[in-house]
């Protein structure tokens, strides 16, 4: 079929991979940072001129990187809102990231619709500060003139696709990107324009949601541009996860997502019901405390880095000599305990050693993520294999404890630009469908990610005992925290 490209416009940089359309083999790569600040340095970090994304894209594609490419897929940071006026000009800089300015707006929106359950039923998620629907509420309340001028609403990948196509009249998005807005329902596959009006105060034009294998259009030079999607969906597609697979991401906070055939409605708001890049669904559960738990423990113990903390933890044994760390250092979202604090239980004279506290930090972090996995399992989501992502996934203490605590095979992929690879795979799919060589219901089969595979093996029973120790402390401290 030839060669295709995937570009991932993250919050800080653009990565481009050029791949063989048949196998997915990466042939060439490009990279460029984003010039995120305005020339006078006054732009707030939550406000970014979207032209910066185009400048970065052009730099990353320099040196003939895209020569011979037949199709491009676009992945981009989620939750970025680009408000345009009726002529297609930006009303103000794009609102990006986890915008703390919008926390009050999130609470306002939840109350305005009648509570968390009403939102979960409407669009499969409860408004958070980062979400586009919440940022629209903030815009209407804080910058009313800009709010009134906002006639068209786009996300980062929508806007980039539109620019690559020469700003056509038709504006498009995909299910994955739309499902994170807070005004499109993955369950019904439709926009809730009434929620846009609730947030913004008036209706606005929204991009057409096209299918996973559809093309958004073709450039004047004949380059096919696929639908594009959000970074989370693109990374899942690049990893090649399917039914029975879950992805656990270890950042400062953590997230657990899995492929599922239907949208999940969760009245507690712990599950965010997203769509994936293939026509399936991608329920996500987020924890506020993952690697920040390890960093806190390292600072407490005077250990220089996480590798040192891991080495220390490996001197202990499963169960940390009875120490249990509830890792709710920033409050917690799973379970819903926004105002709580972390806790260390099981202190005895023999357990008061640095290696046991180090081990308890790893076990507490992973047990918190196992709780998030159980939220999905409790709703019928099948989890046979778990992909573990993030730099901390390489730590020996994580690899030793994760399989037994998660109770499943753990796959640690080698670091790669999976969001860009997923975007390229989407481009190959759209190209194949346009040429009549691929089925619009079946994506191209690409070689899987190179990975280390870890089995729970004989330590499964030990892991279950450690989990039970953690659950007992959690239930004593926060009884009924996971009850609906």
* DSSP H or E run through 301: helix 291-301
Peptide bond into 426 cis (omega under 30): no
Residue 448: pLDDT band (50, 70, 90) is confident
Rounded Cα gap, residues 126 and 118, in angstroms: 9
How is residue 282 written in tokens?
A: 């991608």
* Per-residue pLDDT tens digits for 116-132: 999 999 999 999 889 99
pTM, two decimal places: 0.93
Q: What is the pLDDT of residue 41?
A: 54
Residue 381, pLDDT score: 97
Decide if 89 contacts 243 (C-beta within 8 A). no
Per the CB < 8 A criterion, the answer to whether 242 and 188 are in contact is no
In tens, the pLDDT along 239-277 reads 999 999 999 999 999 999 999 999 998 888 899 999 999
d(CA 10, CA 413): 20
Task: Report the interhelical angle of 103-113 vs 132-142 (nearest 10°).
Answer: 100
pLDDT tens string 380-399: 999 999 999 999 999 999 99
Which pLDDT score is estimated for 410? Answer: 98
Digit-coded pLDDT (tens) for 455-469? 999 999 999 999 999
Short-list 242, 360, 244, CA closest to 298: 360
Give yes or no for a contact between 327 and 262, defined as CB atoms under 8 angstroms apart: no
pLDDT at 39 over 60: no
- CA–CA gap between residue 423 and residue 107 (Å, rounded): 34
Average pLDDT, the chain: 95
Q: What percent of the chain has pLDDT over 70?
A: 98
**Predicted local distance difference test score (pLDDT) of residue 40:** 52
Scanning 143-230, the segments in alpha helix (DSSP H) are 144-149, 156-164, 175-179, 193-200
Cα 233 from chain centre: 7
Whether residue 35 is predicted with pLDDT greater than 90 in this model: the reply is: no
- Asked whether residue 201 carries a pLDDT value surpassing 60, the answer given is yes
End-to-end CA distance of the chain: 50
Which pLDDT value is given to residue 200? 98
């Amino acid at each position: 079929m030839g060669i295709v490209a995937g570009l991932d416009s993250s919050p800080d940089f653009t990565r481009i991979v050029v791949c063989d359309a048949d196998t997915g083999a990466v042939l060439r790569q490009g990279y460029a940072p984003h010039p995120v600040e305005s020339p006078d340095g006054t732009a707030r970090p939550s406000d970014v001129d979207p032209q910066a994304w185009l400048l970065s894209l052009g730099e990353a594609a320099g040196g003939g990187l895209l020569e011979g490419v037949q199709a491009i897929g676009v992945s981009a940071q989620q939750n970025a809102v680009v408000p345009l006026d009726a002529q297609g000009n930006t009303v103000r800089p794009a609102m990006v990231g986890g915008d703390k300015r919008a926390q009050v707006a999130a609470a306002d929106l939840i109350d305005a619709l009648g509570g968390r359950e009403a939102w979960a039923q409407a669009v499969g998620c409860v408004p958070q500060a980062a979400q586009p629907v919440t940022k629209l509420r903030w815009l209407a309340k804080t910058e009313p003139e800009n709010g009134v001028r906002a006639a068209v609403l786009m996300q980062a990948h929508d806007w980039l696709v539109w620019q690559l196509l020469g700003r056509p009249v038709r504006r498009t998005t995909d299910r994955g990107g739309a499902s994170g807005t807070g005004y499109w329902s993955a369950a019904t596959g439709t926009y809730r324009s009434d929620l846009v009006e609730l947030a913004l105060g008036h209706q606005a034009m929204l991009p057409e949601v096209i299918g996973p294998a559809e093309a958004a259009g073709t450039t004047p030079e004949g380059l096919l541009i696929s639908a594009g999607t959000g970074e989370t969906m693109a990374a899942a597609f690049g990893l090649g996860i399917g039914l029975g697979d879950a992805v656990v991401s270890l950042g400062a906070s953590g997230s657990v997502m899995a492929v599922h055939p239907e949208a999940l409605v969760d009245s507690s708001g712990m599950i965010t019901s997203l769509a994936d890049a293939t026509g399936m669904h991608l329920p996500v559960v987020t924890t506020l405390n993952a690697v920040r738990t390890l960093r806190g423990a390292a600072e407490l113990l005077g250990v220089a880095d996480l590798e040192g903390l891991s080495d220390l933890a490996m001197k202990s044994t499963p169960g940390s000599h009875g120490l249990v760390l509830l890792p709710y250092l920033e409050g917690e979202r799973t379970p819903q305990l926004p105002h709580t604090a972390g806790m260390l239980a099981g202190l005895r004279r023999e357990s008061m050693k640095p290696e046991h506290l180090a081990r308890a930090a790893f076990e507490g972090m992973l047990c918190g993520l196992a709780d998030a996995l159980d939220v999905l399992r409790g709703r019928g989501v099948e989890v046979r294999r778990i992909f573990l992502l993030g730099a901390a996934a390489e730590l020996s203490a994580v690899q030793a404890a994760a399989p037994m605590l998660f109770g499943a095979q753990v796959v640690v992929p080698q670091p790669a630009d999976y969001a860009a690879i997923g975007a390229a795979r989407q481009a190959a799919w759209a190209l194949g469908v346009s040429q009549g060589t691929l089925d619009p219901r079946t994506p191209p089969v690409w070689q899987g990610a190179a990975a280390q595979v870890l089995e729970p093996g004989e330590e499964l029973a030990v892991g279950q005992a450690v989990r039970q120790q953690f659950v007992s402390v959690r239930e004593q401290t926060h009884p009924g925290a996971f009850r609906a």
